Amino acid sequence: MHQWISRFTGNTIETFELCLPEPVGFEEDIMSLIEFAASKQTKNLVIDFSGPIAREPTCALQIMIMKYHQRMNVLDTTRLFFNLIYIRNLTICPSLLEIIQDCDDPMELHGQMKTRHLVIKTQMYAHEFAGMTIFLNSCPKLESLTFDTDTTGPVVRRSPPIDPKSFWLNNKTYECLERTLKVVRVNNFRGKPSELHVLQYLIRTGRVMERLELYEAKGLNNDKRRLVLAAAEEVQQNVKKGSRRLRITLHNAS
Most confident of 37-41, 104-108, 123-127, 235-239: 235-239
The pLDDT score that the predictor gives to residue 89 is 80
By mean pLDDT, which of 94-98, 174-178, 219-223 is the weakest?
A: 94-98
Contact 216, 189 (CB under 8 A): yes
Q: Evaluate if residue 210 carries a pLDDT over 90.
A: yes
More confident position, 57 or 149: 149
Could you tell me which residues come within 8 angstroms of residue 12 by beta carbon, excluding any fewer than 6 positions away?
40, 41, 42, 43
Q: What is the DSSP string of 25-94?
A: T-HHHHHHHHHHHHHTT-SEEEEE-SSS-PPPP--TTEEEEES--TT--HHHHHHHHHTTTT-SEEEE-H
Q: Mean pLDDT, to the nearest integer, of 210-237? A: 96
Residue 112: pLDDT over 80:
yes
pLDDT at 59: 39
pLDDT above 90: residue 73: no
Residue, of 109 and 226, whose pLDDT is higher = 226
DSSP at 217: P
What value does the mean pLDDT of the chain take? 80
What tens digit of pLDDT does each residue of 139-198 get? 999 999 999 986 554 444 454 578 999 999 999 999 999 999 999 999 999 999 999 999
Confidence band, pLDDT 50/70/90 cuts, at residue 54: very low
* pLDDT for 241 beyond 60: yes
* Residue 80 pLDDT grade (very low, low, confident, very high; cuts 50, 70, 90): confident
